[in-house]
């Protein structure tokens, strides 16, 4: 919400809300295919409709696997990638947070699977449930307390995070039927790790200029998921930021400045190369 005005003087920015999110329509799960594959296809159609043929992609959280699908399918359209706490490597989901979600991918009726680590023990204690169905555990991630945690965890100075964030997000999560959508998206996330090798092959083959800006204290997508990009990308600007998951909320101006410099340098280089090829 603050990044767009910070860059709008120089760049044309497009930030659509996915179905079921923000101010887009929220059809029920039996009326719309809430999957990363389907939403990526929808975003491809959206780009066609608004006639955007060349672009930089800002990839964060759920937006990363959607954007990587688009980039791998249309590498000729991608000018640069900006990746902020968006995962494409197994190292980025080998932590306590993901254990019950991985169990949910295998069995949606799982009970107490992957919940015996310190992170989820605290959740069970809060609910006073020594045995907990995995879908109930994941519903915890939709509560106000969990939303606040996502914004403040890993942030050295939590007063830098505006309560407007959860004041805006939580009423949307609390809409009737939205919990079913979020559980479906948790389940669909299991389709992403099998695509990691293909996305990594895209990085190696096409070498898109990439800016990594990663909140290094994120417990959802830890910094261990940022490092592997260095293996596959040659033209990479790499920055670990002293904050948590939503790095823009505390370091928005810094990240906007890094983006301006990165995009300007790489688009200028691309333009010079195109002019040279045309001579």
The catalytic site residues sit at 245
Cα 39 to Cα 45: distance, rounded to the nearest angstrom: 10
Locate 142 and state its tokens: 């939709």
Q: Report CA-CA distances (Å) from 222 to 58, 96, 121, 128, 143.
A: 18, 11, 19, 28, 22
Which residue, among 79, 86, 88, has the nearest Cα to 235 in the 3D structure? 79
The two counts, helices (H) then strands (E), for the chain are 12, 4
Locate 209 and state its tokens: 């200029």
Cα 67 to Cα 178: distance, rounded to the nearest angstrom: 23
Report the sign of the C-alpha dihedral through residues 234, 9, 55, 38, in that order: positive
Q: What is the dihedral of CA 149, 86, 95, 173, to 10 degrees?
A: 40
End-to-end CA distance of the chain: 42
Which residue, among 41, 51, 45, has the nearest Cα to 12 in the 3D structure? 51
Locate 153 and state its tokens: 């965890």
Q: Given phi > 0 = left and psi -120 to 50 = alpha, else beta, which region is 180?
A: alpha
């Amino acid at each position: 919400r603050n990044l767009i005005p910070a860059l709008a003087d120089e760049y044309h920015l497009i930030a659509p809300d996915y179905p079921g999110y923000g101010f887009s329509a929220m059809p029920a799960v039996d009326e719309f295919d809430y999957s990363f594959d389907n939403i990526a296809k929808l975003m491809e159609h959206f780009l066609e409709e608004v006639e955007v043929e060349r672009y930089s992609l800002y990839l964060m959280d759920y937006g990363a696997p959607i954007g990587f699908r688009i980039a791998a399918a249309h590498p000729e359209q991608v000018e640069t990638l900006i990746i902020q706490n968006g995962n494409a490597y197994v190292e980025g989901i080998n932590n306590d947070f993901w254990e019950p979600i991985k169990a949910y991918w295998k069995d949606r009726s799982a009970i107490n699977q992957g919940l015996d680590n310190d992170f989820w023990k605290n959740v069970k204690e809060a609910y006073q449930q020594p045995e907990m169905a995995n879908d109930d555990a994941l519903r915890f991630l939709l509560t106000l307390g969990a939303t606040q945690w996502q914004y403040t965890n890993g942030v050295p100075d939590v007063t830098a995070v505006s309560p407007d964030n959860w004041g805006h997000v939580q009423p949307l999560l609390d809409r009737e039927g939205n919990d079913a959508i979020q559980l479906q998206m948790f389940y669909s996330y299991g389709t992403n790790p099998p695509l990691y090798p293909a996305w990594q092959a895209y990085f190696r083959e096409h070498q898109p200029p990439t800016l990594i800006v990663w909140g290094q204290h994120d417990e959802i997508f830890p910094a261990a998921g940022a490092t592997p990009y260095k293996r596959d990308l040659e033209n990479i600007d790499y920055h670990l930021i002293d904050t948590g998951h939503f790095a823009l909320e505390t370091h928005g101006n810094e990240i906007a400045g890094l983006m301006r410099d990165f995009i300007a340098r790489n688009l200028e280089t691309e333009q010079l190369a195109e002019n040279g090829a045309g001579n």
